[in-house]
Structure 1
């Protein structure tokens, strides 16, 4: 499996972020080809030392990194990426990697 991890920094208006994210962005992202599972953080995102700079973390699961790249190159993936400017006012970090059990 592989993961696309999207880490949304605290937005200017958290309520507006949440409304747009769940009503508009999630449905866009769920249409990306090859998506196996979509998870988001629940409640505050913290660190062992306390609060973090992140408002929400999304974990999108695909078969492999090639599947993530294909999803992002698709029309649905491009629409989801373009939508970030509509709500991610605090900034966003995106990571892509393969996973393995240890």
Structure 2
């Protein structure tokens, strides 16, 4: 398995972010080919060493890192990526990695 983790930083207007994310962006992201699971945090995000500027974390699970890259390169993946500037006014960090169970 592999995961794409998107950390959205606190937006300028949290209510507008929440509305757009729920009504528009999730639908776009769920169309990315190869997506197996889509999770977001519930409740506030805290850091063990103090405050965090993270507002929302999304975890998208795929079969492999190659599947993530192929999904993001697809028209639906490109549409989801192009949508980010429309609502992520605080910025977003995206990381992807393969995972393994221990």
Deviation at 1:50, TM superposition (A): 3.9
Structure 1 residue aligned with 2:42: 42
Alignment of 1:52-91 (within 5 A): 52-91=52-91
Task: Out of 41-50 and 9-18, give the one that drifted further.
Answer: 41-50
Secondary structure in structure 2 of the residue aligned to 1:80? helix
Task: Out of 42-51 and 3-12, give the one that drifted further.
Answer: 42-51
- Please give the TM-score of this superposition, normalised by the length of structure 2: 0.97
Once superposed, what is the RMSD of the aligned Cα atoms?
0.7
Deviation at 1:72, TM superposition (A): 0.3
Structure 2 residue aligned with 1:22: 22
Secondary structure in structure 1 of the residue aligned to 2:100? coil
Secondary structure in structure 1 of the residue aligned to 2:94? strand
Deviation at 1:49, TM superposition (A): 3.2
Gaps in structure 1 of 5+ consecutive residues: none
Q: Distance in 2 between matches of 1:84 and 1:20?
A: 10
Deviation at 1:48, TM superposition (A): 1.4
Q: Distance in 2 between matches of 1:70 and 1:93?
A: 19
Count of residue correspondences: 102
Runs of 4+ in 1 over 2 A off after TM superposition: none
Q: Deviations over 1:9-64 (max 9, x none)?
A: 00000110010001000000000000000000111111113431000000000000
- Please give the TM-score of this superposition, normalised by the length of structure 1: 0.97
